[in-house]
Amino acid sequence: MRLEPLYRVRFHYPEGWGIKLEGGWEQYFFSVEGHCEGSITGRLHGANFPRRRTGDGPFCPDFRAVIETDDGATIMMESHGYGRSYPADRRQIVGSVLHLSDSERYRRLNDVVCVCVGEVRAPTAPDGEPELVMDVAELIWERIAD
């Protein structure tokens, strides 16, 4: 197998809510706004519904979004994985990403598995919000050697 870079997405959470659950668990809901650059370019709109097992543990994202591409197509995406709580200034993101589109240009992504790595970057201003950056790459199947 190998990885083929597909796009970078930068986004933020304009609004968010959270509740505490039994056993130290936490549930959140964040609206998502951002943009993609690379093989896919366009605006990103979505939501993240992550759960956190403990106050200092990883987030488990349930990320759903729509990419409005610059060439007029619509791509739906979903991502799952871990938002790690370290390091404090650039917390790590690792996960899987799936896409769906009815556009001829992007329809090939409908059965492609992608992976992502990223960072939750600490705000630069005291009252600022963090920026999230993820690189998404296509996981390319290759024959397994005997």
> Is the CB of residue 111 less than 8 Å from the CB of residue 98?
no
Average the pLDDT over 90-104 and give the result. Answer: 98
Return the SS3 of 22. helix
Q: Which band of pLDDT confidence, cut at 50, 70 and 90, is reported for residue 7? A: very high
Domain boundaries, the chain: 2-140
Q: Which band of pLDDT confidence, cut at 50, 70 and 90, is reported for residue 89? A: confident
pLDDT given for residue 56 in this prediction: 82
pLDDT given for residue 97 in this prediction: 99
Architecture of domain 2-140: Beta Barrel (2.40)
What pLDDT, in 10s, does the model give residues 31-85? Answer: 999 999 999 999 999 999 999 988 788 999 999 999 999 999 999 999 999 999 8
* Spatial CA neighbour of 30 closest among 83, 75, 69, 76: 83
In this structure, the number of other CB atoms found within 10 A of the CB of residue 101 comes to 19
Question: Each residue of 34-49: b (16+ CB within 10 Å) or e?
Answer: bbbeeebebebebebe
